[in-house]
Structure 1
Amino acid sequence: MAALYEGYTLCGLVPDQNLSSSGIQGIEEERDSDHVIVTDSTRSVTLYKVSDQKPLGSWTVKQGQALTCSAVFNSQTKEYVAVSDHKVIRIWKEEDILLDKAFKATVSSDVWMVHCVHGAEPVVLFQRGAVRLLDSVLSAPQQPIEEVLAQDEVIRWSTNIVAATQQFVIFTTEQKGDHFLYLQRLNPNSLQRHRLEREEPSLSPLSFSASFRDKHICLLYLYPNGRVYQSVISVRGLGAEEGAQALPLPRSLLLSLPVGEGLLEAASAMVLDEAHVAVVGVPHPSAGAGKDFLCIWNTNFQTLQAGKEMAGKIYGQLWSYSNKVFIPHGKTLSVIPFECPKSSLASALGKLRQAKTEESKVSTSVPSWNNILHGEKAQTTRTVETRKTRTTRKTQSAPSLTIDQVLELIKTAPVAEIQKEVEGLLSRADLLDLQPLVGQLASTLVTRSLADPAFYSPSTLAQLVHTQCLCHSVCPELVLLALERKDYFLCQLCLQFFPDIPEAVTCACLKAFISMPEAEAEKTSLEPDSISFMETIISPERRQVGLQNGFSPTSFEEDCSDATGGHQKTKAEDEKSTTPLQQICPVGLHKAVLLNEVLQTAYSDTFLLPHLKDLSSQHVVLFLQYLQFLYLKYSQDGFPQMHEYRSPNLNQIMDWVCLLLDAHFTVLVMTPEAKDLLLNLHTFVRSQVRLFSELGKIEGSLQELHKMKTKRDVGEYSIEIIELF
Structure 2
Amino acid sequence: MAALEEEFTLSTAVLGAGPEGFLGVEQTDKADQFLVTDSGRTVVLYKVSDQKPLGSWSVKQGQTVTCPAVCNFQTGEYVVVHDHKVLRIWNNEDVNLDRVFKATLSAEVHRIHSVQRTEPLVLFRRGAVRGLEALLTEPQQNIEAVIPDEEEIKWSEFFMVFKQPALIFITEKHGNYFAYVQLCKSHGLSKYTLLLGKEEKSIKQNFTARVDGKFISLVSLSSDGCAYETLIPLYSSDTENNQRLGRALMLKAVVSGGARNGATITILDQDHVAVLGPPLPASKECLSIWNIKFQTLQTSKELPQGTSGQLWYHGEALFMLHGKCLTVIPYKCEVSSLAGALGKLKHTQESGTHSMPHFVNWETCSGYEPEHYSAEQSRTLRKKNIEMNLQPEVPGSKQLLSIIKKGSEKHIEVELRKFLAKSTPDFHTVIGDTVAELLERCKTEPSFYPRNCLVQLIQTRVLSYSLCPGLMEIALERTDVQMLQLCLQQFPDIPESTTCACLKLFLSDTIQDEKKEMEEQTEIVQNGFSPEDSSCSKDSQQLTKKPERETKETVSFPVTACPVAPKRAALLNAVLHSAYSETFLLPHLKDIPAKHITLFLQYLYFLYLKCSGNATMTLPGVSPPTLSQIMDWICLLLDANFTVILMIPEAKRLLLNLYKFVKSQISVYSELNKIEVSFRELQRLSQDKSSRGLYSIEVLELF
TM-score, normalised to structure 1's length?
Answer: 0.48
TM-score, normalised to structure 2's length?
Answer: 0.50
Q: Which has the larger radius of gyration?
A: 1
